[in-house]
């Protein structure tokens, strides 16, 4: 595989709110696996290790103008000129979540930008990946001086949430290929896994709280709580012999990341000024709008459960002017008439808010996360976990940290320094050592659609179809692996035999299905979803139909699924990664 001979491993963490890249040379990894280079990104008021996932695309609908803080600044400048010219540009932010929870993802999906215009989703994702790729290559080449890195000497790692489905992973792979990354040199890594891999390398002094993980012995169990901007992604690992990790509870979670707090803040502002005013403010005053939410981003990181003093936000004069034009009222007076009358005061350009109001903005995201962790803790396989490892940008929130500590007092909470970077750095380590994860747990029951001789006693009469040699029951769910089943890395399931149904049939198309229940009967059962298909050729037509069997197996345990079809008589093999995008 590419990682065995690569001179450099480069990782891209494509986040909902923030994105970045990191890399290390093989000689650096061999000397110190934690020696990883990351870029510092500069905004007008910020220095950060990741940049906002914000992109400005030119009027030609395909060329990137700018990314991150630069995109925000340029778009605000375009909008401030007072003309409609900026509306011909395409400005996207926080768009990664469009892939979350969608079972029917296809290549033709479109994204809506800030001015309600559409572009193909793969165009937007690929220009961002291309930008991050080129930016990383420039920095690494500067490090080499006169040296040069060949494309095949680089292993690329792209992180995705573990709770994403297979179609979303394939979408990201194809966007990366469109961005100029060879598929053969690309690995898809699951975010909580890379965080777990990296944190196991960190000494105690690199932890904010909870001590280190280097003393975890074989059999130790711990939960990885990856709280990012868009999602909270949770899995449970057990340490195996030799330090490898196995997943003992399937990845799960939901859209409860930091953006849910941002949305609560947005609704709070709307409750003060009304939706028509807010929409006009957002459309006409881009720079002031972005400044308001940047200010909240800074303030929310410093909110603590024991904070009691008021929190102050600057309200631009443009917002007050728009409010008065739309309503004919004074904003300060109007605020006194809302349900926050005794908790919010406008003084000049300062909005002073009781801390209890701001702390309440975290409640929904935190309650969803805590409730979900409690459900996981009930699982028999999870009993006996010693620690919760909190990673991801939202895990830096004191509010979330306190809620986890207080809700699970008997479990040690471990928080690394720069929790928002451990996924990215862990992805680099994963690229150098992709076999750190030895076992995963199946998130669904996987199988193929098949047909069997019809049995009046057990089969649905609506599934009866007549073929050359009699009646068959179609749409049978032929199960290959079951939800919750442990699967070793690159483990291949037992071969299952299938036959063509027609004398002149020269191939069998296997439709791959997933189901959230353990024992579906038909592929049309509730919850079953067609993921894709694999076609296996039949080469030997010299024997009767009943002897042209094809043996099908699936390889799981990696981050993607491969299906193999073997013609029994000839031994010829067809391998294919399932086409989850149709």
CB contact burial 164-193 (16+ within 10 A = b; e otherwise):
bbbbbbbbbbbbbbbbebeeebbbbbbbbb
Specify the domain boundaries for CATH 3.30.420.40 within the chain: 2-207+419-437
Q: CA angle 432-16-191, nearest 5°?
A: 30
- Please give the helix or strand (H or E) that residue 57 lies within, else none: strand 54-57
**pTM for the structure as a whole:** 0.87
Q: Which residues fall within 8 angstroms of residue 466, CB to CB, at 6 or more apart?
A: 472
> How far apart are the C-alpha atoms of 356 and 367, rounded to whole Å?
16
Looking at the DSSP bridge assignments, the partners of residue 110 are: 120
- Give SS3 for 67: strand
Going from the first residue of the chain to its last (582 residues), give the mean pLDDT of each consecutive group of 10, the final group possibly shorter. 69 94 94 93 78 95 95 89 81 90 80 92 96 92 72 93 87 95 93 92 72 75 94 94 88 93 96 95 89 89 90 94 95 93 92 96 97 95 91 94 96 92 95 88 92 95 91 95 88 88 84 92 94 80 81 77 84 76 70
Q: What is the pLDDT of residue 141?
A: 81
Specify the domain boundaries for CATH 2.60.34.10 within the chain: 442-577
Token pair listed for 291? 């400044």
Given this structure, which CATH class describes domain 2-207+419-437?
alpha beta
Nearest Cα to 215, choosing from 412, 371, 70? 412
Nearest Cα to 496, choosing from 569, 432, 554, 562? 554
Q: What is the pLDDT of residue 145?
A: 66
- Give SS3 for 221: strand
Q: What is the pLDDT of residue 147?
A: 63
Q: What is the pLDDT of residue 432?
A: 93
In degrees and rounded to multiples of 5, residue 417 shows phi and psi of -60, 145
List Cβ<8 Å contacts ≥24 apart for 370-375: 370/403, 370/404, 370/407, 372/232, 372/234, 372/252, 372/253, 372/254, 372/256, 373/223, 373/225, 373/234, 373/404, 373/407, 373/408, 374/407
Q: What is the pLDDT of residue 558?
A: 64
For 406-436, give the DSSP string. Answer: HH-TTSEEEEETTGGGHHHHHHHHHHH-TTS
The answer regarding whether domain 442-577 maps to CATH 2.60.34.10 reads yes
Beta pairing class for 387-391 and 221-227: parallel
CB–CB of 401/413 below 8 Å?
yes
- How far is Cα of residue 351 from the mean position of the Cα atoms in its chain? 35
- Please give the helix or strand (H or E) that residue 220 lies within, else none: none
């Amino acid at each position: 595989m590419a990682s065995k001979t690569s001179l450099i491993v480069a990782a891209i963490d494509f986040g909902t709110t923030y994105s970045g890249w990191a890399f290390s040379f093989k000689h650096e990894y061999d000397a110190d696996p934690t020696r990883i280079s990351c870029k510092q990104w500069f905004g007008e008021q910020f220095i950060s290790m990741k940049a906002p996932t914000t992109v400005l695309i030119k009027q030609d609908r395909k060329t990137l103008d700018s990314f991150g803080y630069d995109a925000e600044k340029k778009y605000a400048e375009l909008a401030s000129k007072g003309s409609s010219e900026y509306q011909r540009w395409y400005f996207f932010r926080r768009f990664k979540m469009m892939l979350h929870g969608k079972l029917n993802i296809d290549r033709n999906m479109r994204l809506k930008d800030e001015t309600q215009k559409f572009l193909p989703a793969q165009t937007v994702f690929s220009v961002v990946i291309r930008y991050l790729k080129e930016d990383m290559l420039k920095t690494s080449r500067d490090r080499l001086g006169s040296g040069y890195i060949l494309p095949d000497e680089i292993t690329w790692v792209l992180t995705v949430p573990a709770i994403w489905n297979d179609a979303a992973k394939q979408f990201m792979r194809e966007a990366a290929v469109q961005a100029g990354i060879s598929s053969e040199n690309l690995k898809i890594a699951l975010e909580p896994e890379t965080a777990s891999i990296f944190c196991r390398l960190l000494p105690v002094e690199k932890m904010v709280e909870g001590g280190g993980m280097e003393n975890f012995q074989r059999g130790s169990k711990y939960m990885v709580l990856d709280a990012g901007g868009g999602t909270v992604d949770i899995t449970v690992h057990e340490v195996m012999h030799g330090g490898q990790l196995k997943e003992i509870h399937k990845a799960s979670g939901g859209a409860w990341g930091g953006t849910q707090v941002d949305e609560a803040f947005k609704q709070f502002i709307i409750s003060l000024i009304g939706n028509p005013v807010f929409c006009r403010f957002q459309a006409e005053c881009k720079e002031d709008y972005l400044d308001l939410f940047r200010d909240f981003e800074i303030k929310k990181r410093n909110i603590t459960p024991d904070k009691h003093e008021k929190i102050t936000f600057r309200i631009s004069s443009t917002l007050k002017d728009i409010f008065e034009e739309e309503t004919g009222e004074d904003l300060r007076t109007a605020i006194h008439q809302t349900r926050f009358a005794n908790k919010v005061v406008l003084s000049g350009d300062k909005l002073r808010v009781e801390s209890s109001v701001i702390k309440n903005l975290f409640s929904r995201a935190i309650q969803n996360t805590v409730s979900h962790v409690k459900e996981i803790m009930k699982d028999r396989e999870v009993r006996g976990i010693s620690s919760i490892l909190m990673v991801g940008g939202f895990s830096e929130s004191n509010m979330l940290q306190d809620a986890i500590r207080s809700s699970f007092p008997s479990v040690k909470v471990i928080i690394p320094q720069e929790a928002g970077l451990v996924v990215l750095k862990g992805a680099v380590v994963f690229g150098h050592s992709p076999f750190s994860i030895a076992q995963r747990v199946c998130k669904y029951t996987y199988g193929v659609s098949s047909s069997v001789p019809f049995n009046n006693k057990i089969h649905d009469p609506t599934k009866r179809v007549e073929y050359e040699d009699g009646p068959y029951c179609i749409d049978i769910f032929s199960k290959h692996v079951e939800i919750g089943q442990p699967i070793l890395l690159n483990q291949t399931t037992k071969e299952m035999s299938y036959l063509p149904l027609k004398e002149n049939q020269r191939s069998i198309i296997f439709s791959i299905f997933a189901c959230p229940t353990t024992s579906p009967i038909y592929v049309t059962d509730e919850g079953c979803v067609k993921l894709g298909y694999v076609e296996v050729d039949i080469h030997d037509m010299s024997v009767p139909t009943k002897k042209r069997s094809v043996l099908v197996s699936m390889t799981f345990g990696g981050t993607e699924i491969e299906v193999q079809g073997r013609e029994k008589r000839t031994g010829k093999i067809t391998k294919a990664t399932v086409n989850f995008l149709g």
